[in-house]
Structure 1
Amino acid sequence: VPGVAQAVAIGGELPEYQVNVNQERLRLYDLTITDVVEAAGGAHSTASGGYLVNVDNFEIPIRQQSRVTGSEDIANSVIKYHEGVAVTIGQVADVRLGPALKRGTASEGGNPAVILSIQKSPGTNTLALTDNLDALFDQIEPTLPAGIVLNRDVVRQSHFIDRAVHNVTKVLGEAILIVLVVLVLFLMNLRTTLITLTAIPISLAVGLLMMDAMKLGLNVMTLGGLTVAIGVLVDDAIIDVENVFRRLKQNRAMVESDRRPFTEVIFDASNEIRPAMVFATVIIVMVFLPLLFLQGLEGRFFQPLALTYMISILASLVVALTVVPAMCRFLLKGKLGGTHEDRDGFLVRVLKRGYEPALRSAIQFRAWVLGAAGLVTAAALLLASTFGTSFLPSFNEGTFTVFLLAPPGTSIVESDRLATEVEKQLVEIDGVRSVSRRTGRAERDEHAEPVSNSEVEVTVDAGRSRVEVRDEIDRILASIPGITTMVGQPIEHRLSHVLSGTPAAVAINVFGEDLSELRRVAKAIEGELQSLPGARDVNASREVMITSLPIRYRHAELAAVGLSPADAAEQVREAIYGEVVDTVNQGVRQYDIVVRLAAADRES
């Protein structure tokens, strides 16, 4: 699919041709596992046989049938001759097609699953790519074997984008409604309301065209800039319309001989407030100008927001200077009000009656007014100093990411068991739509993760309270002893990794050369932080000691049997971890040929 940069699958089992060697049989025929490795490597070949130059006037290519087509081809390969009799791989090993050793597993809703993580290429439209993938899955789903269910809605960035677009649309509707009510109440004229409301979509359209010219796409930050800007897009238009409306009413109130031409009144009224309107807009734009000079990650985040806001505000100014006066020229003809069109509206008259005595009192007791204003300002600044700070606010992503960290060294079997129990409890939470889990790492993924770690994606139903679901998740995690847990969100988690190298919102680095002392200090800091109000999911990511099985070679005894330490180490690696001797291509599938000791011998 165009636009897909990477697709990584975790879960299930990768098939391979396994040569599981029996140690007792090796001793019987005086063989080593290295002998079996060499013989298995010779069981499969794709070497060309060349061609015959001229046979009855034809050039004949030679095609050798030396590829492995089944496990019996490997089993029948000869290792050596023992007392004149051929010893084959099948005599010393069990050869079969079986699952490869796993470093990761996955499940969905407590049942085994294969989770496919798809990453898009830079610059690709996420919504368009999601639609293309859905179309592909629509074709694949009917062909799946019975009993296999395809869940496409585990984590989708398109939901987050759709929610952001919905929020912008909602703000736009609210802004239009508020402007409508305010203008009708203050000006008591539907035509002025129509002129002002028209400025919003036109300003947005001009802003979007300018954004497209500057190669700014729609993302969370640019949508945020549009959301913030919508509230002030109508400011310039309101100022211009209100002044034109007021001057036209004053002109209509004059005797007919003193009245000025209609177009001239609109022109002068617009020019009257134009300097103040332009200066006010420029000042607002200059406030956001420093954000354009941010570097690094901060610049990548806030430059699009600042640019979008500035472009939208400047677009609204252009509309107020050009479109609004023209619309006034066509729509404000004739009567501008009811019987008493020369008077202010009812609400304006009421406000003026209240404002006049308030203004007189403020001027009379100006010292007290200024002093009170200063105290309120100081109190506000003091209160602001107590607020918490963060690089970005917490997004409503619709999905929680739960991290389960078992003690280092925990086997994948035990990690899978622990995580499955947690997963089954999370599925029962009211308001949770789906729960999927990844433990360890995918076999062909560059993201290194120990088998003791699990990552659970908890998707919340639309409309459900995130706070209530989070409280239930915390309650379940608190009841599980022996594992460390953290809760975040997919995008939030990745941002934290970028900022601090950890999935936490706050990271503390401890430096030193003594590893034991570093572990002690980290443990002490962890204990202190856990008692702080507001702190949660405190975890010291310190270097830990894990249980290992050391092997020390006795050089004299190795020399007695003609082995070097490197030879012995190689045999141990082949016996325990295994050796991939070749890869077999069968159609579109690939199978590794792996030689190792049988499972019972490896664990003894």
Structure 2
Amino acid sequence: MLNKIIYYSLHNRLVVLICSLLLMIAGTYTAFHTDVDVFPDLNAPTVVIMTEANGMAPEEVERLVTFPVETAVNGAMDVRRVRSSSTTGFSVVWVEFDWGTDIYRARQIVSEKLAVVSESLPENVGKPTLGPQSSILGEMMIIGLTADDSKSGSRIAPTTQMDLRTIADWTIRPRLLSTGGVAQVAVIGGDIKEYQILLDPARMKHYGVSLGEVLAVTRNMNRNANGGVLYEYDNEYIIRGVLSTANAEEIGKGVVKIVGDFPVLLENIATVKIGSKSPKLGTASERAKPAVLITVTKQPNTSTIDLTEKLDAIMADLQKNLPADVHVSTDIFRQSRFIDSSIDNVKNSLFEGSFFVVIVLFLFLMNIRTTVISLVALPLSLLVSILTLHYMGLTINTMSLGGMAIAIGSLVDDAIVDVENVYKRIRENHLLPSDQQRSILEVVFDASREVRMPILNSTLIIVVSFVPLFFLSGMEGRMLVPLGIAFIVALFASTVVALTLTPVLCSYLLNRKSTDKKVEKEAWVARKLKELYGKALNGALAHKNMVLGCTIGLFLVALGMFFTLGRSFLPPFNEGSFTINVSSLPGISLEESDEMGRRAEELLMQVPEIQTVARKTGRAELDEHALGVNVSEIEAPFVLKDRSRDAVMNDVREKLSTISGANIEIGQPISHRIDAMLSGTEANIAIKLFGTDLNLMFTVGNQIKEAIQGIPGLVDLKVEQQIERPQLTITPKRELMAQYGITLPEFEEYVNVMLGGEAVSQVYDNGKTFDLTVKTSDESRATMEDIRNLMIDAGGKKVPLSYVAEIRSVTGPNTINRENVQRKIVISGNVSERDLRSIVNEIQQKIDASIQLPEGYHIEYGGQFESEQAASRTLLLTSLMSLLVIFLLLYNEFKNAKESGVILLNLPLALIGGVFILKLTSGEVSIPAIIGFISLFGIATRNGMLLISHYTHLRTVENVPLKQAVLQGSMDRLNPILMTALSSALALIPLALNGDLPGNEIQSPMATVILGGLLTSTFLNGFIIPIVYLLMNKEDKE
């Protein structure tokens, strides 16, 4: 079949050329119109359920809200993990489905389960709502709004924090949400505007007004009335009673009751004003200045670059109509910045690798025509790959581009071997007498056919070596499989090019009389290398035992060294931005936590590399990140100058360590989110302690922290702050309540409204909607004693609240986290300047030796360590299967087990270089490095196949004696072997050397391993294979 394809191509050359041109045009067009992203879709199908619980304590939220929701969804089909967090007045449940589950189906399953459980929740609990459909990389931009006092003129009132928040909520947020591709816009910071009716208990008592009377009026006072229709003078008029008003003074004129002939107005018993909503769930700042931060989250499968451009245009348009003193920042966090730099870096590696390939080809061939023919396979294969990836529904990202970058050298291998053999046969044909010379088409056909099967089999072997990558599951599979797809597609495309276009171009470009003299001699580089190699090979054959002994020794050293290398999951990314968590003890006020966060910002701005900082303290409304007011999250984009990223991070860690009472955790935006997806904790290592008693769990958690505190390389160690915080409980005295005629619903309503406040209605103001809230004035509830003396309605009279309720100060948990219906507390930490596995092993040893867990409690280790172990096991098992398939392919080619075994000797030869170069660089074996080794074994077998197949050809077809066949075959195949090996190896140099650049982090360990392995396997292959082949066939008669 392959011969037919070559034959058809040579006899339909114009068709082949036109088809190739069309493919290049289509590929180029697709390359400029395919979505670009930083990574493939890494999102585990996750549905977030959020429920507002009206100021309930965390234990009540857990019992009455979280537990019923968890129970309903826990047994649903394809659910692999359910996590939850119950905090004051808020419940969030994360339902994680198996990888590969359709997210729409998952949301439908959860919705059906919630439809049943919603009916059983308490009346004062909001309806459970599903979070927006997004991904872990969905947070794509943070926009900051600040008021610049220097720009507000004397005639214009300065923009307040309430104005900023109103602009964000009602001008910017709706515009952003209406943009296609935006999933959610979360706003935090500033003061939320509301209309407040602040009741004065003393005046209410004076006028004899009950809370029920106030609520009856206020709940209906801002509604418009419908008066039907009036027909007059042939016109139809709609009759409207306009009761609503946005004027606080007019609201205060509302009549509550009539006492005698005297109307009691709201303003008589309360202060009616416009104020800020309280209690605040969170606050924000930019560069230590109060700000409003807007976080934009995109929908899955949305182009980050395109959407960022749309958002920039929208913000530029909105900026024109904002007050002059409002400053808009869009550079706090932009995921597109990391995407742009990552894609540019990988593209540069592609171009630089291609340049090395050009140099290698020209030096060996010293002929522009043959170099051009070989290089045509490069752009055509890459463009066909992009075209194929597009129709497979995949984006262009650092992984797919990285697969192409790693394949660069291999893409021209087929063409190199084909062109080199055609070039040689044409040269031989030209040296024949004119009457014996064959036509150029016949020469090209025979030369292409001669090397086609070994080349095709070597390509299949490389493809098989990449198969283990496709068995990876979870996040690592989602990330790395597109790399393998891109590599394999590009490789197959190059094989098709070598079968079709390469012979056609050879027939055109190498059939010129003017090239006759040029092809009579090989390039001087090739001649010189053959001369040196011939002497070295003869020397090696004369000292077989010594060469074999030294090689075996090197292999054993490399094998031993391999098991001493550290282990890690993925190399650290260089995202150009830090995400820093600053947390203090729960129970701290928002004001104190805000001050601590501001101090952290001031310290960060002292770091020269950091460009700006922005901080969120607490959480936004209906935000799935259920952070307490004691936690601040700071984004700090940076640009490296004279120091490395690790040096800057250590400087940041040292500066922030001076903040008293603060726990510091430093990471990067995408890395943080990947860690959170893997373990539910934004740290590299998560030690999950499961139990029932939160106090005991916190105590044991701190014991674990103390036990592992001094482990080298373990930084940012902290225990999840699930501890007791002050609470004020108001418990009804039921007998006394009965005597005073106070029902439990009345008592509940009193506590909810007078102390917590209730939004009884809405105020509409120029298209904006604000809550109308009724509550007690802050002065009336400033202390516990004030609350005791509040007057409650009791059958037409008023009595102090302390008469009918017991009011006391107690403690309760600030938050309760659970996983798979079990309470848990997490001891988390990051890794710095040491490998992941050795740290986790040391952690396990110290915990096993010093911690005695209470009965019924247990520990699970999560995070990157868990994923690294699972991925390593998968790759080990599947790579053994790949080796077996590779052997079968070799046996199918040579029909000889011994020759197939000799070719597999390239594997230990490649291992030597891969291990040594890892030891000299990172010193760690990561998952990408393991994939590099597996890929290397497939690539390295190509050289052995070229040698053994040519030895066999010389001995069986041309009847050359054994030793002469080995010497001649080695010399004949030196050029194609060196060209393919050097082009493959040198093309990886840019990726290997620039591993610290954004976008190259994953591919760099793979490129490093393949580069080192190819260098040693190519060098040793030229001596070990001839020696072993001679020894294996020494009994054969020459």
TM-score, with structure 2 as normaliser:
0.56
Q: Give, in angstroms, the shift of residue 252 of structure 1.
A: 2.7
Deviations 1:509-538 (A, max 9, x none): 122334343223221222233211111111
Question: Closer, same or farther in 2 for the Cα pair 1:568/1:367, shift >3 Å?
Answer: farther
Question: Closer, same or farther in 2 for the Cα pair 1:588/1:287, shift >3 Å?
Answer: farther
**2:389 is equivalent to residue 211 of structure 1:** yes
Q: Residue in 2 aligned with 1:571?
A: 750
698, 716, 726: which one aligns with 1:519: 698
Supply the distance in 2 between the matched residues of 1:42 and 1:555 (Cα, whole angstroms).
Answer: 32
Supply the distance in 2 between the matched residues of 1:388 and 1:32 (Cα, whole angstroms).
Answer: 72
Q: Give, in angstroms, the shift of residue 94 of structure 1.
A: 1.0
Q: Give, in angstroms, the shift of residue 339 of structure 1.
A: 6.2
With 267-276 and 543-552 compared, the bigger mean Cα shift is at 543-552
Supply the distance in 1 between the matched residues of 2:416 and 2:588 (Cα, whole angstroms).
Answer: 66
**2:267 is equivalent to residue 87 of structure 1:** no
Q: Residue in 1 aligned with 2:251?
A: 74
Q: Give, in angstroms, the shift of residue 59 of structure 1.
A: 4.1
Alignment of 1:467-486 (within 5 A): 467-486=646-665
Contact in 2 for aligned 1:103/1:443 (Cα 8 Å): yes
Supply the distance in 2 between the matched residues of 1:485 and 1:335 (Cα, whole angstroms).
Answer: 75
1:256 partner letter? S
1:124 partner letter? T
Q: Give, in angstroms, the shift of residue 420 of structure 1.
A: 0.8
Q: Give, in angstroms, the shift of residue 214 of structure 1.
A: 1.4
Supply the distance in 2 between the matched residues of 1:368 and 1:304 (Cα, whole angstroms).
Answer: 44
Q: Give, in angstroms, the shift of residue 435 of structure 1.
A: 0.9
With 143-152 and 249-258 compared, the bigger mean Cα shift is at 249-258
Q: Give, in angstroms, the shift of residue 73 of structure 1.
A: 2.4
Supply the distance in 2 between the matched residues of 1:205 and 1:390 (Cα, whole angstroms).
Answer: 34
Contact in 1 for aligned 2:225/2:242 (Cα 8 Å): no
Contact in 2 for aligned 1:484/1:539 (Cα 8 Å): yes
162, 187, 198: which one aligns with 2:376: 198
Supply the distance in 2 between the matched residues of 1:513 and 1:447 (Cα, whole angstroms).
Answer: 24
Contact in 2 for aligned 1:108/1:436 (Cα 8 Å): yes
Supply the distance in 2 between the matched residues of 1:546 and 1:239 (Cα, whole angstroms).
Answer: 74
1:519 partner letter? F
Q: Residue in 1 aligned with 2:291?
A: 113
Q: Give, in angstroms, the shift of residue 139 of structure 1.
A: 1.2
1, 4, 7: which one aligns with 2:185: 7
Deviations 1:315-357 (A, max 9, x none): 1111122122222222223368796743332222222232223
Q: Residue in 1 aligned with 2:936?
A: none
308, 330, 355: which one aligns with 2:486: 308
Q: Secondary structure at the match of 2:328?
A: coil
Q: Secondary structure at the match of 1:485?
A: strand
673, 678, 689: which one aligns with 1:499: 678
Q: Residue in 2 aligned with 1:45?
A: 223
Supply the distance in 2 between the matched residues of 1:219 and 1:562 (Cα, whole angstroms).
Answer: 70
Supply the distance in 2 between the matched residues of 1:331 and 1:413 (Cα, whole angstroms).
Answer: 78
Q: Secondary structure at the match of 1:442?
A: coil
540, 544, 547: which one aligns with 1:366: 544
With 498-507 and 134-143 compared, the bigger mean Cα shift is at 134-143
Q: Give, in angstroms, the shift of residue 56 of structure 1.
A: 5.0
Supply the distance in 2 between the matched residues of 1:49 and 1:386 (Cα, whole angstroms).
Answer: 86
Contact in 2 for aligned 1:440/1:450 (Cα 8 Å): yes
2:663 partner letter? T
Q: Residue in 2 aligned with 1:530?
A: 709
499, 509, 513: which one aligns with 1:331: 509
Q: Secondary structure at the match of 2:197?
A: strand
Q: Residue in 1 aligned with 2:305?
A: 127
Q: Give, in angstroms, the shift of residue 406 of structure 1.
A: 1.6
2:697 partner letter? L
1:528 partner letter? A
Alignment of 1:165-314 (within 5 A): 165-314=343-492
Q: Give, in angstroms, the shift of residue 44 of structure 1.
A: 1.0
Q: Give, in angstroms, the shift of residue 64 of structure 1.
A: 0.7
Question: Closer, same or farther in 2 for the Cα pair 1:383/1:567, shift >3 Å?
Answer: farther
Contact in 2 for aligned 1:106/1:113 (Cα 8 Å): yes
**2:226 is equivalent to residue 62 of structure 1:** no
Supply the distance in 2 between the matched residues of 1:36 and 1:124 (Cα, whole angstroms).
Answer: 50
Supply the distance in 1 between the matched residues of 2:409 and 2:531 (Cα, whole angstroms).
Answer: 29
Supply the distance in 1 between the matched residues of 2:311 and 2:348 (Cα, whole angstroms).
Answer: 28
Contact in 2 for aligned 1:335/1:341 (Cα 8 Å): no
560, 581, 594: which one aligns with 2:760: 581
2:722 partner letter? E
Q: Residue in 2 aligned with 1:322?
A: 500
Deviations 1:52-76 (A, max 9, x none): 4x54555432201111231122211
Contact in 2 for aligned 1:3/1:121 (Cα 8 Å): yes
TM-score, with structure 1 as normaliser:
0.94
Q: Secondary structure at the match of 1:288?
A: helix
Unaligned runs of 5+ in 2: 1-178, 784-1038
Q: Secondary structure at the match of 2:354?
A: helix
Supply the distance in 2 between the matched residues of 1:598 and 1:514 (Cα, whole angstroms).
Answer: 38
Q: Secondary structure at the match of 2:684?
A: coil
731, 737, 743: which one aligns with 1:552: 731
325, 346, 353: which one aligns with 1:147: 325
Contact in 1 for aligned 2:586/2:721 (Cα 8 Å): no
Supply the distance in 1 between the matched residues of 2:317 and 2:227 (Cα, whole angstroms).
Answer: 42
Supply the distance in 1 between the matched residues of 2:513 and 2:638 (Cα, whole angstroms).
Answer: 56
Q: Residue in 2 aligned with 1:100?
A: 277
1:545 partner letter? E
Q: Give, in angstroms, the shift of residue 438 of structure 1.
A: 0.9
With 30-39 and 146-155 compared, the bigger mean Cα shift is at 30-39
Q: Residue in 2 aligned with 1:137?
A: 315
Q: Give, in angstroms, the shift of residue 492 of structure 1.
A: 1.0
Question: Closer, same or farther in 2 for the Cα pair 1:466/1:25, shift >3 Å?
Answer: same
Q: Give, in angstroms, the shift of residue 462 of structure 1.
A: 6.5
Deviations 1:425-483 (A, max 9, x none): 21221122221111111124343221111111111137674333322211212222211
Supply the distance in 2 between the matched residues of 1:434 and 1:133 (Cα, whole angstroms).
Answer: 20
Deviations 1:281-329 (A, max 9, x none): 1111122234334444343323322222211111111112212222222
Supply the distance in 1 between the matched residues of 2:708 and 2:595 (Cα, whole angstroms).
Answer: 30
Q: Give, in angstroms, the shift of residue 50 of structure 1.
A: 2.6
% identical equivalent positions:
38
Contact in 2 for aligned 1:180/1:193 (Cα 8 Å): yes
1:509 partner letter? K
Q: Secondary structure at the match of 2:552?
A: helix
Contact in 1 for aligned 2:252/2:272 (Cα 8 Å): yes
Q: Secondary structure at the match of 1:537?
A: strand
With 449-458 and 437-446 compared, the bigger mean Cα shift is at 437-446
Q: Secondary structure at the match of 2:716?
A: coil
Q: Give, in angstroms, the shift of residue 82 of structure 1.
A: 3.3
Q: Give, in angstroms, the shift of residue 387 of structure 1.
A: 3.6
With 20-29 and 358-367 compared, the bigger mean Cα shift is at 358-367
Question: Closer, same or farther in 2 for the Cα pair 1:309/1:267, shift >3 Å?
Answer: same
Q: Residue in 1 aligned with 2:9?
A: none
Q: Residue in 1 aligned with 2:597?
A: 419
Contact in 2 for aligned 1:412/1:452 (Cα 8 Å): yes
Supply the distance in 2 between the matched residues of 1:228 and 1:551 (Cα, whole angstroms).
Answer: 67
Supply the distance in 1 between the matched residues of 2:708 and 2:435 (Cα, whole angstroms).
Answer: 82
Supply the distance in 1 between the matched residues of 2:550 and 2:698 (Cα, whole angstroms).
Answer: 54
Deviations 1:103-151 (A, max 9, x none): 1111111111111111122222211111111221221222221222111
1:17 partner letter? Y
Contact in 2 for aligned 1:160/1:397 (Cα 8 Å): yes
Supply the distance in 1 between the matched residues of 2:514 and 2:588 (Cα, whole angstroms).
Answer: 80
Contact in 2 for aligned 1:51/1:62 (Cα 8 Å): yes
Contact in 1 for aligned 2:414/2:495 (Cα 8 Å): yes
Q: Aligned residue pairs: how many?
A: 603
Supply the distance in 1 between the matched residues of 2:782 and 2:534 (Cα, whole angstroms).
Answer: 92
Q: Secondary structure at the match of 1:152?
A: strand
